[in-house]
Amino acid sequence: MKNLFIPTKQNSYKPYLLRKACLVFYTIILIVVNSFGGLLGISKVSASNITPANIIALTNQERTATGLNTLSSNSRLASAAMAKAQNMFDEQYWDHFGPNGETPWQFIIASGYNYVYAGENLAKGFRTSEGVVEAWMASPTHKKNILSQNYKDMGIAVMDGVLLGKQTTLVIQMFGNLTTEVYGSTTTTPTESTPVTKSPVIDTGQIKSISISHPKSGGILKDPAVLVKGSVDGDKEEYTVEIIEGVETLTEVQADSDNWEYSSDEIWSDGNHSIYAQVKGSSVKSDDTIFEIDTVAPNILRETLLVTNEDEKYTVTFSTDEDWCEIRIMNDEEEISFLYSETEDVELINFIPTDSVVLYISDQAGNTSELDISEYFLEGDTEEYSNFSLPLLINSIKTSEGINLIVVTLVLILISIEVYVLWKKGKLGKNIGEIFVVGLWVTILTIGIFKGFGGITI
Predicted local confidence at residue 151, as pLDDT: 92
**Which are the contacts of 1, defined by CB distance < 8 A and separation ≥ 6?**
none
Helix (H) or strand (E) holding 367: none
Q: Among 62-76, 151-165, 271-285, 360-374, which stretch is predicted with the lowest mean pLDDT?
A: 360-374
Q: Among 24-33, 133-142, 321-330, 447-456, which stretch is predicted with the lowest mean pLDDT?
A: 447-456
Q: How far apart are CA 350 and CA 100, in angstroms?
A: 51
Predicted local confidence at residue 446, as pLDDT: 66
Region of 366 on the Ramachandran plot (φ > 0 left; ψ -120 to 50 alpha; else beta)? left
Predicted local confidence at residue 449, as pLDDT: 55
| pLDDT beyond 50 at 47 | no
289-322 per-position pLDDT tens digit: 999 888 888 887 777 778 787 766 777 777 787 7
For the ranges 25-39, 173-187, 231-245, 355-369, the one whose mean pLDDT is highest? 231-245
| pLDDT beyond 90 at 26 | no
Of the two residues 182 and 86, the one the predictor is more confident about is 86
Q: Measuring CA to CA, which residue among 182, 229, 207, 239 is closest to residue 68?
A: 182
| pLDDT beyond 80 at 185 | no
Predicted local confidence at residue 65, as pLDDT: 92
| pLDDT beyond 90 at 88 | yes
Q: What is the mean pLDDT of residues 255-271?
A: 82
Greatest Cα-to-Cα distance within the chain, rounded to the nearest angstrom: 111
385-426 per-position pLDDT tens digit: 444 333 433 343 445 556 667 777 888 888 888 888 888 878
Predicted local confidence at residue 263, as pLDDT: 81
pLDDT band at 340, cuts 50/70/90?
Answer: low
Contact 299, 78 (CB under 8 A): no
Q: How far apart are CA 205 and CA 203, in angstroms?
A: 6
Backbone angles phi, psi at 212, to 5 degrees: -105, 125
For the chain, what is the mean pLDDT?
Answer: 77
106-130 per-position pLDDT tens digit: 999 999 998 888 899 999 988 788 8
Q: Measuring CA to CA, which residue among 274, 208, 280 is closest to residue 251?
A: 280
For the ranges 76-80, 194-198, 398-402, the one whose mean pLDDT is highest? 76-80
Predicted local confidence at residue 33, as pLDDT: 62
- CB environment 25-53: b (16+ within 10 A), e (fewer): ebeeebeebbeebeeeebeebebeebebe
Predicted local confidence at residue 312, as pLDDT: 66
Radius of gyration of the chain (CA): 31
94-106 per-position pLDDT tens digit: 988 888 888 888 9
422-444 per-position pLDDT tens digit: 888 787 877 788 788 777 777 77
Dihedral through CA 86, CA 91, CA 96, CA 97, nearest 10?
-130
Predicted local confidence at residue 339, as pLDDT: 65
pLDDT band at 341, cuts 50/70/90?
Answer: low
Q: What is the mean pLDDT of residues 181-210?
A: 50
Predicted local confidence at residue 290, as pLDDT: 93
For the ranges 13-17, 166-170, 298-302, the one whose mean pLDDT is highest? 166-170
Percentage of the chain beyond pLDDT 90 is 21
Please report, as a single letter, which amino acid is at residue 336: I
Q: How far apart are CA 88 and CA 95, in angstroms?
A: 8
Backbone angles phi, psi at 131, to 5 degrees: -65, -40
Q: What is the mean pLDDT of residues 179-202?
A: 47
Please, what is the Cα angle at 212 between 211 and 214, to 5 degrees? 155
Q: Among 29-33, 51-55, 359-363, which stretch is predicted with the lowest mean pLDDT?
A: 29-33
